[in-house]
Amino acid sequence: MSNDLFASKIIPVIVINDVQDAVSTAEALQAGGQSVLEITLRTPAGLESIRQLSSNSELIVGAGTVTDVDSAETAIAAGAKFLVSPGISLDIVQFAKSAGIPIIPGCVTPSEIMGALDLGLEILKFFPANVYGGISALKALAGPFPNVQFVPTGGVNADNLSQYLNLPNVKAIGGSWMATSKLIQDHQFETITQLTREAIAIVKNSELVNSNE
C-alpha cells in the first residue's frame, strides 16, 4: 500500500461540501492521471464521500483532518485506506497501527519528529509547510533526521511543486490547488483535470531532472 500511496508523489487534499460532487471530483482527478486522494473530514459530506469513493477499486482514498480515534474508526469503516492528521496523537497512531492502516501525522518540530520515530513512523506530514519554514525548514531537518521522509502540505502549488520534490527528504506533497473547494462547487471538473495533468507533468519532469543529476 505505501508504495502505491506515494507513487504519484502527489496527494490531493479534497474538501467536499456536497456529497453529490464526490464522484465527479474523483473522476476529474483520475482523468488527469491521479488515483490517490485525501478526503478531509472538515465537512459533514466528508465521511459519506469516502464511503462512495471507496467502492472504486482504481482509487486509493484516505481520510484527512483526523483529529481523534472516533473519526479514525468511522473513516476506516467507511473505507478509508489511509489516514492523515494535522498533528500527532499517540492514541490515533496506535489505533491506526492496530487496524493495519497507514497514518501520516503532522509533525514540524524536532520534538514531534522524535516522538513519531519512537512510534515507529518515518513518513510524516509537514503542515502547514508555508508557515513552518517550507523548503528551508525541510532542508534543515534533513541533517538530524536522515531517515525521515516528509509530505509537505500547506502553501504547496504548481509554482513551487518542483522545488519541494527536489528535496531528498520529501516523499510526496499534499495540496488542494488542483481541486479547490471553489472549483468543485462551481463544477469546474475539466479545469480540475487540466490542473492535475499539469501537476503530474511537473512530477515527471522533476523525476527526470533528478535522475540525470
The one-character DSSP state at 79 is T
* Gap between the Cα atoms of 192 and 35, Å rounded: 13
Contact 106, 124 (CB under 8 A): yes
Contact 93, 118 (CB under 8 A): no
* Gap between the Cα atoms of 176 and 118, Å rounded: 30
Whether 27 is catalytic? no
Whether 125 is catalytic? yes
Bridge partners for 84 per DSSP? 104
> Among 38, 73, 122, 213, which one carries the catalytic annotation?
38
SS3 203: helix
Our measurement of the distance from residue 197's CA atom to the centroid of its chain's CA atoms, rounded to an integer in Å, reads 17
> Among 9, 81, 125, 171, which one carries the catalytic annotation?
125
Active-site positions read 38, 125
